[in-house]
Amino acid sequence: MSATANVTKIDFYEVLSVSRDASDQELKTAYRKLAMQYHPDRNPDDPTAEEKFKECSEAYQVLSDPEKRAAYDRYGHAAFNGGGPGAGGNPFGGAQDLGDIFGDLFGEMFNMGGGGRKASRVQRGRDLRYDLTLEFEEAVFGKEKEITIRRMETCIDCKGSGAAKGKAPVTCTQCGGRGQQRFQQGFFSVARTCSVCGGTGTLIVDPCQTCRGETRVQTEHSILVKVPAGVEQDTRIRYQGEGEAGKFAGPAGDLYVVLNVKAHKFFEREGDDLHCVMPISFPQAALGTELEIQTLEGEATIKIPEGTQSGKEFKLRGKGVPHLNSHGKGDLIVEIRVQTPGKLTKQQKELLRQLGETMVVENTPTSRGLFDKMKEIFS
């Protein structure tokens, strides 16, 4: 008569030496400590170390998954081996709908079988943004400015491996370096990211003292930004490879310099044209005159013919903004506004009365279109 041995598994919380209300970070910290202590590559002559490593890996795999942890807290080990929702050794618990099983597999593969490939640890770095403020004239004529950014760069001491000098990351025994764990679900072979190595396929047992195993360090970096003439508000300048370095010596992201252009005290920009308003007196409008106006490139002269009406626009060609990455410039458009004085002396009032007696205007309402035609006739 044969006897069946009853083997009682150790409580997963006891395996990791954490309380039952431990946070995700506490679980991760406890597991890393034990994984480094019992990893087979660090204990080649200790057969019990591998068993303890597998034990703590299994405990972390369950407790780091919210659904599995909830099932374990309720049913214990029976949740995964015949006594609870996960009966039959199904690593996905009691989910009967394939949608429940595949819902969290975004970005990973599932197929009708096959082995899967070895994982790559290399990750591209993040893109960075820098907001650069320019004076109005700097945006028009271009400018070179040096900026300083903070970014993650590949650790020089470990060259991005994350391991201490003379050491190297070791192969994850849980997934065999593939970065994925494969489970059979009916006709499907389902791959999930390895919960032990996070999909990298390796573990850093002896971390670099400089980057603490993170493979990168934060530094300050200076870049000379060349702003071309004619840029506008919110123009983006891309500097390829000047973003953060990728993990495990991965390619760097890009840097995007976004321009913010200050307003000018009297010029307004529309495309590559500049607009401004020039106030003149009634005598200047009636008799005509020449005016000096300040452009972005110096002074220019505008000839105001006699009888100029308020709102008349004069165009100074080539006095606007340079065309971006091209030849030529926009124009400067000056709008004339006839200014009515708010206060007059006694003598000025008398002179205007005399002038008014010689100029009769029929004060009858009319449409705006007809009024504009009348202005053209009398101008």
Binding residues: 155, 158, 172, 175, 194, 197, 208, 211
d(CA 145, CA 132): 9
Residue 25: strand, helix, or coil: helix
Joined tokens for residue 265: 């005290």
Q: Among residues 238, 254, 235, 236, which one has the least CA distance to residue 246?
A: 254
d(CA 233, CA 258): 8
Joined tokens for residue 155: 């650790």
Cβ-Cβ contacts under 8 Å for 184 (sequence gap 6 or more): 190
CA atoms within 13 A on the CB side of 194: 26
Host H or E run for residue 193: strand 188-193
d(CA 326, CA 333): 21
Binding residues for Zn(2+): 155, 158, 172, 175, 194, 197, 208, 211
Tokens 């040096």 belong to residue: 146
d(CA 265, CA 376): 32
* Amino acid at residue number 194: C
Counting Cβ atoms within 10 Å, is residue 213 exposed (0-12), middle (13-18) or buried (19+)?
buried
Tokens 């919960």 belong to residue: 195
Cβ-Cβ contacts under 8 Å for 324 (sequence gap 6 or more): 228, 229, 230, 231, 232
